[in-house]
Chain A
């Protein structure tokens, strides 16, 4: 499903990560500054590796030796950022529809309804992002990413900006997502408890290197 073998120099920091996974929910675990976000940005195509390859779902999206770099907008990935990044000039419904429009996908009312129900955002459709709570924003961001029909979902500390109460509010949605949405995901977090609930496989990142790889046991 996902194969990564990359090197990247970012100022003083060097990232050298290699792993391959068929897991439905890959947990990328590490302290802040371990290189998690840079790694996810490379999988998304927002950052270019200095050397190496990235393969998503059998398609080589990066291969520096062969000069391959598929730009982010052609990768068909969904990316949920820590800070939601909803478009402030569009309402919730338009935000949700954005990926479908950009990818020129035909309307899919069935999936649309299913995801809106799954995330409980039906009541928010007419609102502007500025009028949403942190938790609501994150749920809309999830829906927006899913409705672009990605083949891989990247979640970079999606609960990082929320307080404990809000985290508990969103976690069940993420578990449902993993079990029902049928999209493999990479879930970035520095919170072991979160990953134990969500991830089926763990990549442990320490100072730019993969130090462990395996089941959730590696977290202990």
Chain B
């Protein structure tokens, strides 16, 4: 196999940019939601939980189509954002990031939620008796103790985002340099005569990225356990 071509590099860098932005934007929402699901009881909690997990079980093409209807140029939210804030999603890399963020969200939230659930609530009580207001308890005790889980969620979300295909191609199509990620580049290449070698190279890149992310997530999970035991 020969070297990675400029066109392939474009797809790889775009994938990285899309996945990094998707993960960074999704993380605060993920932490807030994980905390809500782990620590609060409220009406409609199971429904909210189900909605968060929906992208995991819906056909990605359905999620992509729903995104198109909502965030497209003529969509309810998309139209508003384009007219008032100048943010356009359809057929842009930002749309790819949105699709990847939505699709990876369940995977991003899950480790965060589990790590918050694993924190001994009595430590939070102790913090309260020492004069910490609830938001300070969150930032000085809950979040630091959940940090390895938060990072694990980010890594998993990132890995999922970088491999996302169905929702992305449905929502923002497959435009080289703008919305053509590694996955959609591979899809185009295997439909092209003589595209096998290039597709093979991108397949290897995908495997390396995914494997690296899984190993990183596992490492963070082990750190989380050590942290909770005070070592």
A residues with a Cβ closer than 8 A to B are: 44-46, 71-79, 81, 83, 85-89, 98-99, 102-103, 128-131, 144-145, 148
> Are B231 and A89 within 8 A (Cβ)?
no
B128 part of interface (Cβ distance < 8 Å): yes
B126 part of interface (Cβ distance < 8 Å): yes
CB-nearest residue of chain A to B130: A99
Q: Are A81 and B122 CB-contacts (below 8 A) given A128-B231, A130-B229? A: yes
> Are A148 and B230 within 8 A (Cβ)?
no
> Are B130 and A46 within 8 A (Cβ)?
no
Contact sample, A vs B, 17 pairs, CB 8 Å cutoff = A45-B128, A71-B128, A73-B130, A73-B131, A73-B132, A73-B133, A73-B137, A83-B122, A85-B120, A85-B123, A85-B125, A86-B230, A89-B144, A89-B230, A98-B140, A99-B131, A102-B140
Q: Kindly state the separation between the CA atoms of A130 and B132 in the bound complex, as whole angstroms.
A: 23
Pick the residue among A44, A45, A73, A88 that contacts B228 (CB under 8 A).
Answer: A88
Nearest CB on B from A188, distance (A): 14
Q: Kindly state the separation between the CA atoms of A153 and B137 in the bound complex, as whole angstroms.
A: 21
Name the interface size band of chain B.
20 to 34
Nearest CB on A from B79, distance (A): 45
Residues of chain B from 112 to 138 with CB closer than 8 A to chain A in the complex? 120, 122-123, 125-134, 136-137
Nearest CB on B from A217, distance (A): 32
Q: A71-B128, A72-B129 are in contact. List 7 more A-B contacts (CB 8 A).
A: A73-B129, A78-B129, A85-B120, A88-B227, A129-B230, A131-B231, A144-B130
Pick the residue among B123, B127, B227, B231 that contacts A102 (CB under 8 A).
Answer: B127
B52 part of interface (Cβ distance < 8 Å): no
Q: How many A-B residue pairs have CB under 8 A?
A: 78
Contacts of A129 in B (CB 8 A): 230
Write out, one digit per residue, whether chain B residues 31-52 have a CB within 8 A of any chain A CB (1) or not (0). 0000000000000000000000
> Are A79 and B230 within 8 A (Cβ)?
no
Pick the residue among A44, A83, A98, A131 that contacts B127 (CB under 8 A).
Answer: A98
Residue from B123, B126, B127 with most neighbouring chain A CB atoms (10 Å): B126
Q: Kindly state the separation between the CA atoms of A102 and B136 in the bound complex, as whole angstroms.
A: 8
Contacts of B133 in A (CB 8 A): 73, 102
> Are B145 and A72 within 8 A (Cβ)?
no
CB-nearest residue of chain A to B141: A87
Nearest CB on A from B143, distance (A): 10
Pick the residue among B129, B134, B140, B229 that contacts A88 (CB under 8 A).
Answer: B229
Q: Kindly state the separation between the CA atoms of A185 and B159 in the bound complex, as whole angstroms.
A: 54
Q: Kindly state the separation between the CA atoms of A74 and B130 in the bound complex, as whole angstroms.
A: 9
Top 7 nearest A-B pairs (CB, nearest first) are A130-B230, A88-B230, A99-B130, A79-B129, A103-B131, A85-B126, A102-B131
> Are B128 and A73 within 8 A (Cβ)?
yes
Nearest CB on A from B22, distance (A): 29
Q: Are A72 and B125 CB-contacts (below 8 A) given A88-B227, A148-B131? A: yes
Q: Kindly state the separation between the CA atoms of A161 and B145 in the bound complex, as whole angstroms.
A: 24
Q: Are A98 and B130 CB-contacts (below 8 A) given A83-B122, A88-B145, A89-B144? A: yes
Contacts of B126 in A (CB 8 A): 79, 81, 85, 87
> Are B227 and A87 within 8 A (Cβ)?
no
Residues of chain B from 131 to 173 with CB closer than 8 A to chain A in the complex? 131-134, 136-137, 140-141, 144-145
Q: Kindly state the separation between the CA atoms of A75 and B230 in the bound complex, as whole angstroms.
A: 28
Q: Are A85 and B122 CB-contacts (below 8 A) given A72-B129, A102-B132, A148-B131? A: yes
